[in-house]
A and B are shown apart, each in its own frame.
Chain A
């Protein structure tokens, strides 16, 4: 075979191999050595230069140079491809921070109120609202707080005038609802309330309550217990224990306060800072609606019975989130609010 044909075959072979070559360091090097190495194919042809007839030498030189140049360029471009491939793989820095959306936050008191309300809404309680500035009648008298009675002491009151107060609890909503609606009544009364107390780590002049009221023909204390068990277990967890102990509120009788087992110490007490060693945390007050309250809103206390319960949102939020100073909840610091981004 003519040496020219041989070279042309080699060039075809070179193209064939190049098109099938993996862009891998090892493969490229082997390919380079095969064609451009000291004993490579191209070198070997150049070594045969002497055997070429003189009149063909020029033509052969031209062919071989173009082959060699092409091979060199191919290798160079392979290296470049390899480089690009490696860059793509190794320099993709997925650790760079993602571009996060700027998220707002819901205040812990809203969150607490909503979580509690949702549980009772699922039990068929609808929500009723009432004014923050109330008459003495709705805030006290209709709720069986006689004038000049020590029961009023428990509620340090802001007065607008002798007969108008900032509501000290959301209970006036109970009376307002009973006046406009006939039993059965099953409502929640959430809202802002006020007590004239000096501001410190555990007192603030503004706070929030949520109350429930259920009036029908056969409402019993026994059912009140079950309702509150259901609430406590759903809100604080299944393992939390509950206790009812007798107490006094003018608008309910019998009245009870409900404690839950301390979730910090598990009810052991000892040196626990949350429950002050008692093992119990007071969370709500409740009782059967006092007949006098029925009478003041025109409901027959012989025919109907009812229960009511109420709790302080600040207290529950502080227990739930471990907040030790009520003032953090008002006029808030961004760094405090930011912590309530989570669901």
Chain B
């Protein structure tokens, strides 16, 4: 909301500078952002007077005129339709830097021009380019135009108003809050007009059909008004806060809205049917055409203002075309009302229509200010449009709105803020806020809240007022803070941190992807989760909560590959969801972690030459390392017995009896078709962080280091190519006896010197007994057992 300093000064005195005023308001909780003055950086514009306007001898639409700048007369060429003799204008002098460029002395078709007369858009004041700016006659010639402008229009603040403060949606409201600080008098304009028409009851009656939705509705009738242009002062006021003047009636209503915060509506009385106003709820399917020309269908819960036959306004939100003020309007019906905030908000949301009026009603206007605002508007219209005011007004207010009367304990204020306040000071400030003091003793004060402060209901609301007026900045910071011992360790949050650090140490870069994704497009759903659909998504691409992290990682990788960054290792930790109607929140939530590997593992090196390309086994090794690091356990890699179009192979990873996750190679056709990635293999792992956490074992069990020597044996065997190395290792381990400490597989060979359907495997075995030195004989015996088993089980031949 825009607040104008000149306008504010109409209701209160203060001598703050612009910056100080902004700070004061901000510290009161009315966050005031300065609105940059468009003229701030523009120099060399003065007020001039125009004379001797004549046609350019050689150009059809241009005029030549003399402009007196206070010292000398300059010849200026002007093309605007509204230039004429004896007007005052801003004169832009040569050398002036305007937003669009620098103004220079020029010759246009042989005639020289020593400056320019600008339109509003050329100075950045508005986007109006219909003609040059014409100043009122009292503008002093030769004056710096910037000074003139800022005196006339003042400066603005944009106030970022919190929803609890409807009382500050107007200039009087802001002035009133500022006065709590300055202790100045609030200057509210008097209303003074004659009621010289017939009794109002002759023309209209008001029926409120739903008093809960409309607790108060007041109206006046003014006859024989003259709809015309508003006077300069009114146009200036509206323009100063960026409103476009329309005509004297509409402008007056807008002015009183911005002055008092009470939205007002004006109807063309002669366009209403019958002599009644009915405030009622809409009917399901009822249609209206609002002032903006939109046809809108209603449900059965939008509050309407109707005449004897049909709706004429959507209450508190917008008028309808059928009753709006037009040039020929002569008789007016004015509306000033208090509507139920939640009701107006419902209508505004339902119609998707927020207006200056609905903004205020849905926050809560002052129900006791309805009549003042109505009279203020009546007064203005009489002054500006000469009407006759019907005698009396209708004020349909069946049940007075009672204001809350909380008791505020001084001890509670001190306890919550942590500082002692003087009760007299507190009571004085409550009075300044406009509260009625109902009762007071040494422990507490009972107050009645002002009608313009719907946010002051409870004791706590008043404690907030104490700190707001005293100043949060001035509240002393405590000398110490209490620390509560926290004995928890290795909690989930810290566990995630450990996982993240470890994966990064393997050379993976952490990424964050959107939780919202398009479920239909691609299927990376290894855990078979049912996606949760968003009812009001931003777009179709972001309509579901993700069921997996892999699709995000693949997209991220593809984006990078398409930018020619081909060597990638990415990981992400994040939540995925599975639809579950049995849950209150309709979803099971799991935390996953995923890793992606593609391209080369290291940059090209002068020392090692050829780069290594990462593959399944590099990713597998990283996962094995991670599991070992966090759990001390060995994971099993087994057939998943699962097929998905997106993947060439899916291997399941199991820790004890729990499925940790899957490691897969992406289908190359998919990469090419969907992601435009060619000639590159992509490997992905996705797993459950909950399972990893379940097996998390941060304690290390120390084993004494054996002091007797270890004995190593190498063994090379020939097996069928279809024999799996993992199975062979398992056989060796199971038959190696209790002293076999380690089995390393270190060579795989197929090709020359070996039968076509065979491969050669080489293992290194380490035997050790912690209690004595092993004898060669013992090892030989054990090796024989291993050979025999290998022969028997996998048809192995010694090499």
Q: A127-B493, A133-B587 are in contact. Are A106 and B515 (CB under 8 A)?
A: no
> Looking at the complex, which of A9-17, A62-70, A80-88, A194-202 is the stretch in contact with chain B?
A194-202
B618 CB, min distance to chain A CBs, angstroms:
11
B475: A residues at CB distance < 8 A = 221-222, 225, 244
**Is the CB of B461 closer than 8 A to any CB of chain A?**
yes
**Is the CB of A114 closer than 8 A to any CB of chain B?**
yes
Task: Decide if A99 touches B608 in the complex (CB within 8 Å).
Answer: yes
**Is the CB of A48 closer than 8 A to any CB of chain B?**
no
**Is the CB of B481 closer than 8 A to any CB of chain A?**
yes
**Is the CB of A273 closer than 8 A to any CB of chain B?**
no
Task: Decide if B417 touches A222 in the complex (CB within 8 Å).
Answer: yes
**Is the CB of A229 closer than 8 A to any CB of chain B?**
yes
Considering only residues 527-585 of chain B, those with a C-beta below 8 Å from chain A are 532-538, 542, 545, 552, 555-556, 559-560, 563, 565, 568-569, 571, 574-575, 577, 584-585
B584 CB, min distance to chain A CBs, angstroms:
5
Task: Decide if A334 touches B565 in the complex (CB within 8 Å).
Answer: yes
**Is the CB of A79 closer than 8 A to any CB of chain B?**
no
Compute how far the CA of A134 lies from the CA of B491 in the bound complex, rounded to whole angstroms: 22
**Is the CB of B505 closer than 8 A to any CB of chain A?**
yes
B186 CB, min distance to chain A CBs, angstroms:
21
Task: Decide if A222 touches B536 in the complex (CB within 8 Å).
Answer: no
Q: Which residue of A lies closest to B461 (CB)?
A: A253
Task: Decide if B586 touches A329 in the complex (CB within 8 Å).
Answer: no
Q: Could you tell me which A residues sit within 8 Å of B by CB distance? A: 96-97, 99, 101-107, 109-110, 114, 117, 121, 123-127, 129, 131-135, 146-151, 153-154, 158-161, 164, 166, 184, 186, 188, 190, 192, 194, 196, 198-199, 204-206, 216, 218, 220-223, 225-227, 229-230, 243-248, 253-257, 277-278, 288, 290-291, 305, 329-335, 337-338
Task: Decide if A244 touches B492 in the complex (CB within 8 Å).
Answer: no
Compute how far the CA of A107 lies from the CA of B586 in the bound complex, rounded to whole angstroms: 30
Compute how far the CA of A192 lies from the CA of B494 in the bound complex, rounded to whole angstroms: 16
Task: Decide if B585 touches A134 in the complex (CB within 8 Å).
Answer: yes
15 A-B residue pairs with Cβ-Cβ distance under 8 Å, sorted by A, are: A104-B571, A105-B510, A121-B486, A124-B485, A134-B585, A150-B363, A164-B585, A164-B586, A166-B545, A198-B538, A204-B514, A220-B417, A226-B477, A333-B565, A334-B509
B535: A residues at CB distance < 8 A = 158-161
Q: Which residue of B lies closest to A338 (CB)?
A: B509
Q: Which residue of A lies closest to B494 (CB)?
A: A127
A105-B509, A223-B481, A333-B560 given; 18 more Cβ-contact pairs under 8 Å:
A97-B606, A99-B607, A107-B509, A129-B492, A151-B163, A159-B535, A161-B586, A196-B538, A205-B538, A221-B418, A222-B478, A244-B472, A247-B31, A253-B461, A288-B416, A331-B511, A331-B513, A337-B510
Task: Decide if B346 touches A194 in the complex (CB within 8 Å).
Answer: no
B210 CB, min distance to chain A CBs, angstroms:
16
Q: A225-B475, A337-B511 are in contact. Are A186 and B484 (CB under 8 A)?
A: yes
The residue in A125, A126, A194, A198 that gathers the most chain B C-beta atoms within 10 A of its C-beta is A126
Q: Which residue of A lies closest to B568 (CB)?
A: A334
A154: B residues at CB distance < 8 A = 163
Q: A133-B545, A133-B587 are in contact. Are A221 and B417 (CB under 8 A)?
A: yes
Q: Which residue of B lies closest to A107 (CB)?
A: B510
Task: Decide if B577 touches A133 in the complex (CB within 8 Å).
Answer: yes
A192: B residues at CB distance < 8 A = 515, 574-575
**B contact residues, range:** 35 or more
A54 CB, min distance to chain B CBs, angstroms:
68
Task: Decide if A205 touches B516 in the complex (CB within 8 Å).
Answer: yes
Task: Decide if B501 touches A158 in the complex (CB within 8 Å).
Answer: no
Task: Decide if B473 touches A243 in the complex (CB within 8 Å).
Answer: yes
Give 10 nearest A-B pairs by CB, closest first: A220-B418, A222-B418, A246-B29, A248-B162, A104-B504, A127-B493, A148-B342, A254-B464, A150-B163, A107-B510
Compute how far the CA of A243 lies from the CA of B537 in the bound complex, rounded to whole angstroms: 37
Compute how far the CA of A107 lies from the CA of B533 in the bound complex, rounded to whole angstroms: 28
Compute how far the CA of A126 lies from the CA of B485 in the bound complex, rounded to whole angstroms: 9
Q: Give 1 or 0 for each of B288-328: 1 = CB within 8 Å of chain A CB.
A: 00000000000000000000000000000000000000000
Task: Decide if B536 touches A159 in the complex (CB within 8 Å).
Answer: yes
A125: B residues at CB distance < 8 A = 486
B417: A residues at CB distance < 8 A = 220-222
B682 CB, min distance to chain A CBs, angstroms:
15
Q: Give 1 or 0 for each of B488-504: 1 = CB within 8 Å of chain A CB.
A: 10011110010011011
Q: Which residue of A lies closest to B465 (CB)?
A: A254
**Is the CB of B467 closer than 8 A to any CB of chain A?**
yes
Task: Decide if A149 touches B503 in the complex (CB within 8 Å).
Answer: no
Considering only residues 441-482 of chain B, those with a C-beta below 8 Å from chain A are 458, 460-461, 463-464, 467-468, 472-473, 475-482
Q: A106-B510, A332-B511 are in contact. Are A148 and B345 (CB under 8 A)?
A: yes
Task: Decide if B477 touches A222 in the complex (CB within 8 Å).
Answer: yes
Task: Decide if B569 touches A246 in the complex (CB within 8 Å).
Answer: no
**Is the CB of B273 closer than 8 A to any CB of chain A?**
no
**Is the CB of B164 closer than 8 A to any CB of chain A?**
yes
A132: B residues at CB distance < 8 A = 515, 545, 575, 577, 589
CB within 8 Å: A-B pair count: 250
Q: Give 1 or 0 for each of B612-644: 1 = CB within 8 Å of chain A CB.
A: 000000000000000000000000000000000
Compute how far the CA of A123 lies from the CA of B478 in the bound complex, rounded to whole angstroms: 15
**Is the CB of B165 closer than 8 A to any CB of chain A?**
yes
Compute how far the CA of A343 lies from the CA of B136 in the bound complex, rounded to whole angstroms: 65
Compute how far the CA of A4 lies from the CA of B479 in the bound complex, rounded to whole angstroms: 103
Q: A164-B585, A222-B418, A332-B556 are in contact. Are A107 and B165 (CB under 8 A)?
A: no
B522 CB, min distance to chain A CBs, angstroms:
15
Q: Which residue of B lies closest to A105 (CB)?
A: B509
A333 touches which of B345, B476, B515, B559 (Cβ 8 Å): B559
A128 CB, min distance to chain B CBs, angstroms:
9
Q: Which residue of B lies closest to A103 (CB)?
A: B507
**Is the CB of B705 closer than 8 A to any CB of chain A?**
no
A244: B residues at CB distance < 8 A = 472-473, 475
Task: Decide if A133 touches B560 in the complex (CB within 8 Å).
Answer: no
**Is the CB of B33 closer than 8 A to any CB of chain A?**
yes
Task: Decide if B477 touches A225 in the complex (CB within 8 Å).
Answer: yes
A101: B residues at CB distance < 8 A = 507
B341: A residues at CB distance < 8 A = 148, 150
**Is the CB of B770 closer than 8 A to any CB of chain A?**
no
Q: Which residue of A lies closest to B533 (CB)?
A: A160
A229: B residues at CB distance < 8 A = 477
Task: Decide if B560 touches A334 in the complex (CB within 8 Å).
Answer: yes
Compute how far the CA of A176 lies from the CA of B196 in the bound complex, rounded to whole angstroms: 65
Task: Decide if B472 touches A245 in the complex (CB within 8 Å).
Answer: yes
Q: A221-B467, A223-B481 are in contact. Are A331 and B493 (CB under 8 A)?
A: no
Task: Decide if A158 touches B416 in the complex (CB within 8 Å).
Answer: no
B483: A residues at CB distance < 8 A = 123-124
Q: A131-B587, A132-B577, A194-B515 are in contact. Are A226 and B532 (CB under 8 A)?
A: no
Compute how far the CA of A277 lies from the CA of B22 in the bound complex, rounded to whole angstroms: 13
Compute how far the CA of A160 lies from the CA of B534 in the bound complex, rounded to whole angstroms: 5
B504: A residues at CB distance < 8 A = 103-106
Q: Which residue of B lies closest to A148 (CB)?
A: B342
Q: Which residue of B lies closest to A243 (CB)?
A: B473
B646 CB, min distance to chain A CBs, angstroms:
19
Q: Which residue of A lies closest to B468 (CB)?
A: A246
**Is the CB of B114 closer than 8 A to any CB of chain A?**
no
A221: B residues at CB distance < 8 A = 416-418, 467, 475
B584: A residues at CB distance < 8 A = 135, 164
**Is the CB of B703 closer than 8 A to any CB of chain A?**
no
B404 CB, min distance to chain A CBs, angstroms:
15
**Is the CB of B658 closer than 8 A to any CB of chain A?**
no
Compute how far the CA of A222 lies from the CA of B414 in the bound complex, rounded to whole angstroms: 10
A273 CB, min distance to chain B CBs, angstroms:
14
Task: Decide if B345 touches A253 in the complex (CB within 8 Å).
Answer: no
Compute how far the CA of A216 lies from the CA of B482 in the bound complex, rounded to whole angstroms: 10
**Is the CB of B415 closer than 8 A to any CB of chain A?**
yes
Task: Decide if B536 touches A104 in the complex (CB within 8 Å).
Answer: no
Compute how far the CA of A204 lies from the CA of B512 in the bound complex, rounded to whole angstroms: 12
A246: B residues at CB distance < 8 A = 27-29, 464, 467-468, 472
A79 CB, min distance to chain B CBs, angstroms:
31
Task: Decide if A305 touches B415 in the complex (CB within 8 Å).
Answer: yes
